Amino acid sequence: MRANPAQACRARFGTTRDCREAGFILPDGSMLDFSGKTAYESDDSSDWGRVVRPENAGGHNVDHREISVCLGPKAAGYDPVFFFQYRANAVRLFADDDDLQVQFDVGEVPTVRQWDAVERCAEGRKIFYDVYHDQTRLDSGVVYGVYDLKLAFWLAKGRAFR
């Protein structure tokens, strides 16, 4: 069985209910906090300490690739975003006031709780999506509702495994 890095990443980044702060949606529907309002910093890289930066609340200020800090040596040589998505069955997202960007890997099917979180984040936003498998883009586009997003996901998954 493959190791799931979701717990280590949850401990490192924390979670949020604000879609504008989220970086990934985990299978239980919780969203990793990529606002940067809680961060790790140190003058000595061997002694990292958690600091709070409330000025970062309400936005996405951490690059998705920073997920690599909690992945460990098994991720070496892989794109950290794709590695985390596959290993944790996570959905990548970025939201601002008008748009929602989501990225799926069809190697895993999003859970009901993940779809619920996407639907909550999509409310009132235009949805841009990318569907990948093995780091290859299968489909991308713009939709205006979660029903169309689910349809795009399942059609791409069907093409990937014919």
pLDDT in tens, 18-39: 999 999 999 999 999 998 776 6
In total, how many domains does the chain have?
1
- The burial class, CB within 10 Å (0-12 / 13-18 / 19+), for 17 is exposed
Domain coverage including residue 115: 6-160
Q: Is the Cβ–Cβ distance between 52 and 38 less than 8 Å?
A: yes
The Cα angle at residue 40 between residues 34 and 43, in degrees rounded to 5: 145
Nearest CA to 2 out of 72, 60, 59, 57 is that of 72
146 in any annotated domain: yes
1 in any annotated domain: no
Confidence class for position 122, pLDDT limits 50, 70, 90: very high
Mean pLDDT of 30-55: 64
118 in any annotated domain: yes
57 in any annotated domain: yes
147 in any annotated domain: yes
Q: What is the pLDDT of residue 66?
A: 86
Res. 9: pLDDT tops 50: yes
Average of per-residue pLDDT values in the chain: 84
pTM of the model: 0.85
35 in any annotated domain: yes
